[in-house]
């Protein structure tokens, strides 16, 4: 509880000194109260039943960061070394420095005490096996997705969680523009849809784009970690 003591004076000379002191005390009181009010409002929202699936995350199954051009096939991300072309791969590979930073920040800021089981390990081999077994058909992806879900449930149990960061790059010269969205999902299929997310639009010089993206990853995962903590600590 914050108590403000106001002293009334009749002396006009002292009144001029009282007003700044009272304003300062009011600002301090608001600064102390605002985080508590904001936290209470967060609790009202995040403690709703809608967020139960995030409270019940049993393990992390996936963490992915990927980048692409804002304008399809413009080559901007490759030109700035945010991504690198990989022969015989559908998508370019994101810079390893960004991947390492993302993995470290996921562990430091988001994972918490929830274990991580890499459900993506061996994914390509299982996908190729599914093509050989079922052939290419309209429902191949749905069949494979159901197979992967059953595999995760058998190995690790239900209620997985996943974290994604998606980067889009525009321009090669200053200002290099980027859009980043980091998301936590808690659906059984681990689809990168909906979820709780953070977004940022930013810019950088070409020389410092990797560092700028690393800073943005840290900011967004930290914010997601704080929100997830409020969700999971509801009483």
**Per-residue pLDDT reduced to its tens digit, 44-56:** 788 999 899 999 9
Rounded Cα distance between 192 and 184, Å, is: 8
Percent of the chain with pLDDT over 70: 81
The predicted structure's pLDDT at residue 66? 96
| Mean pLDDT confidence for 124-129 | 94
Consecutive H or E run containing 149: helix 140-156
* Strand partners for 64: 164
Any residues with CB less than 8 A from the CB of 188 and at least 6 apart, and which? 149, 158, 159, 160
Rounded Cα distance between 31 and 163, Å, is: 33
Return the domain boundaries, the chain. 1-46, 53-119+160-232
pLDDT in tens, 180-235: 999 999 999 999 998 999 999 999 999 999 999 999 999 999 999 999 999 999 86
In the DSSP assignment, the letter for residue 49 is G
Q: Does residue 22 surpass a pLDDT of 70?
A: no
Whole-number CA gyration radius for the chain = 24
Average confidence score pLDDT of the chain: 86
Identify the CATH class of 53-119+160-232: alpha beta
| Mean pLDDT confidence for 115-124 | 94
The predicted structure's pLDDT at residue 235? 66
| Mean pLDDT confidence for 67-74 | 95
The predicted structure's pLDDT at residue 16? 53
The predicted structure's pLDDT at residue 169? 98
Rounded Cα distance between 155 and 145, Å, is: 15
Whether residue 71 contacts residue 170, with contact meaning beta carbons closer than 8 Å, is answered with: yes
């Amino acid at each position: 509880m914050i108590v403000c003591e106001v002293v009334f004076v009749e002396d006009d000379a002292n009144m001029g000194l009282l007003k700044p002191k009272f304003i300062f005390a009011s600002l301090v009181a608001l600064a102390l109260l605002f985080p508590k009010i904001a936290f209470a409002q967060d609790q009202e929202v995040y403690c709703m039943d809608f967020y139960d699936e995030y409270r019940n995350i049993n393990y992390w199954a996936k963490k992915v960061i990927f980048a692409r051009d804002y304008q399809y096939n413009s080559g901007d991300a490759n030109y700035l070394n945010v991504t690198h072309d990989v022969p015989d791969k559908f998508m370019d590979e994101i810079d390893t420095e960004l991947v390492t930073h993302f993995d470290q920040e996921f562990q430091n800021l988001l994972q918490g005490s929830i274990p991580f089981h890499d459900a993506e390990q061996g994914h390509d081999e299982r996908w190729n096996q599914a093509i050989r077994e079922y052939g290419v058909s309209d429902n191949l992806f749905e069949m494979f997705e159901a197979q992967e879900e059953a595999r995760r449930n058998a190995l690790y149990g239900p209620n997985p969680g996943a974290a994604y960061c998606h980067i889009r790059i525009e321009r090669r010269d200053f200002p290099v523009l980027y859009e980043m969205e980091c998301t936590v999902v808690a659906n059984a299929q681990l689809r990168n849809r909906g979820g709780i997310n953070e977004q940022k639009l930013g810019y950088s010089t070409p020389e410092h784009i990797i560092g700028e993206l690393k800073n943005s990853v840290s900011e967004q995962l930290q914010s997601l970690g704080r929100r997830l903590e409020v969700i999971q600590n509801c009483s």
